[in-house]
Chains A and B, each alone.
Chain A
């Protein structure tokens, strides 16, 4: 006993300091997760006092029979692929330019970071006005430059609706990538660039042999954030297409909300949320594994 008490005294303050964080984590992350897990095994409308246990039935339905769910997953994946390539590509180019100390660099930092801080609903409404088929700016410009044949109702045309939503999302999101990539670029010691230049390396050589390897962890971080952020796209969808026309711009979150609020299938929506979460976790793990392999090579 006499040996244990001093040990406890040593440990106790540490536990006390950790307790608030554990309580917060437990209350706002762990408990809700287990509650969602529990609800996913029940058929419940979100109001009734009784629930019906259905086991894994809802998971089975989602995975094997719910085609609109997987269609919505593909839509989110399509927007994600575009965002990974174009949004992050643009962010990298802009970050490289600002990192090179171009004129008004500070001002550009502020300007590029403006779209991400705007509400998704507001951004959606602004772009709605640009893409509007009847009096939209885009059609107006196309008419002015003699390309009236390309005019259309961009957000209502199944051929263009999803890509237009992706464009809006990328416009809103590239600022995040820009800021993170710029921070990463500025952490690279300048002496490495100077030494390479003295050795006669071109800009391309410097980018491939110095910037890219040193930026790899930042690239991975930006990619993971892009995937997680884009797969969960919702606000822009609500303010532009509402998931339509038909199912053409439905995304996983809109399907989950539709089940929860409009179909009163709370338990089913919880199961959808878990399936979606599992897909995102798998994607993140895959990305991290790929980055580890790339680091080794």
Chain B
């Protein structure tokens, strides 16, 4: 049987997300697509019958297909038992490549600042000292797409996990620990310290990641906070750029440093008449040969673990940190979107000197309380309606 394959690309992500939402409402989703949305939307798509449960395919032949992937790549597409989303436990997506977000240091600019490029800051104090050295040498500090809220959130989240650990982060999401807790204030305070010690480039607060990548590639900033996808971008913009990727510096030396990671994954439309063929096609895409080709052409980290030997240079540097990867998606609970917004906007306010870490913590907690109250009211209303219907 032969099929004609039609590929449709959309940019930016928001345009793609709108397209997927509209297609879901009209029951016109493609046979295979990506879910570039939050976990709650992923769950809604599953519950509305738009995504096929791939667990039976993964489990077939003693889990042969499943065993080809890095565990982290699959976790991002898995709904475990007892998650808040009320989705049947299973694997709903197939990772094609995996990525993570780390600190990137321009070794030449570090040298110019009198800093030994072999000594990448491993602790927060060293990081601050590097900021002072850069400031003294007049070299712009860090760039990142912090105008896009998710990247600022990612940076803060890394430190939250390092400072207080997963359990306390989860307890905060559950509403058991307030954002005014000293550990959260400490997280917010890191941004204030970075600003004071010259670690941030002017304009980072509204910078989009494309601009950040261009600035770093053109050696106009010594540091970047970016994902492993940057390897290809930097290579195309400035092949002579000398840099190193490393985990962000640890604040709490008793705990490991975690970083956000993700995958580029595909899901299969459960309502597609060609769903079996779609699964076979994704299986083919995830095979070693295709994955090697993908890794070679894109310099991305392939999701198929059997291709690990192809990784070298910066790709290997990023891949080495895959064990430290976390993501809010891995938590069984998700923070309310408006709390996340208050959190991200609050950090921006600290960076422009408009708010203090304490006042931001208070604002975020107020948003949290408001949203929890709203959720409780909504639940009560829902139960009332249910009871009415039953009567």
Contact = CB atoms under 8 A, between A and B. Distances in A.
A133 interface: yes
A156 B203 contact: yes
Given A48-B47, A242-B148, A263-B338, A133 B202 contact: yes
Interface string A145-181: 0000000110111100100000000000000000000
Contact of B202 (A156, A161, A240): A156
- Interface size bracket, A side: 35 or more
A134 interface: yes
Contacts, number: 101
B41 to A, nearest CB: 6
Interface in B220-243: 220
A247 B24 CA distance: 31
Contact of A242 (B21, B208, B385): B208
Interface string B350-379: 011011000000000000000000000010
A135 interface: yes
B21 A47 contact: yes
A245 B352 contact: yes
A209 B215 CA distance: 56
A118 to B, nearest CB: 18
A133 B25 CA distance: 43
A263 B14 CA distance: 12
B78 interface: no
A72 B361 CA distance: 23
A14 interface: no
A277 B54 CA distance: 44
B211 interface: yes
A46 interface: yes
A14 to B, nearest CB: 35
Which of A47, A262, A265 is packed against the most chain B CB atoms within 10 Å?
Answer: A47
Contacts of A257: 14
Contacts of B337: 262-265
Interface stretch (B166-174, B294-302, B341-349): B341-349
A53 B385 CA distance: 9
B205 A244 contact: yes
A46 B21 contact: yes
Nearest to A263: B337
A261 B211 CA distance: 23
Contact of B203 (A46, A134, A262): A134
A265 to B, nearest CB: 8
Interface string A99-135: 0000000000000000000000000000010001111
Contact of A155 (B206, B338, B385): B206
B45 interface: yes
A142 interface: no
B18 interface: yes
Contacts of A47: 21, 24-25, 41, 44-45, 48, 50
Contact of B345 (A46, A244, A262): A244
B203 A155 contact: yes
A264 B40 contact: yes
A49 interface: yes
Contact of B205 (A49, A54, A128, A245): A245
Nearest to A66: B338
Contacts of A43: 378
Interface of A: 43, 45-49, 52-54, 128, 132-135, 152-153, 155-158, 161, 240-242, 244-247, 257-258, 261-266
Given A133-B203, A155-B203, 15 more contacts: A43-B378, A45-B40, A47-B21, A49-B48, A52-B381, A52-B382, A152-B202, A153-B202, A156-B205, A156-B352, A242-B147, A244-B348, A246-B345, A246-B352, A246-B355
The 7 closest A-B pairs by CB, nearest first: A263-B337, A133-B202, A153-B203, A47-B44, A153-B202, A133-B203, A242-B147
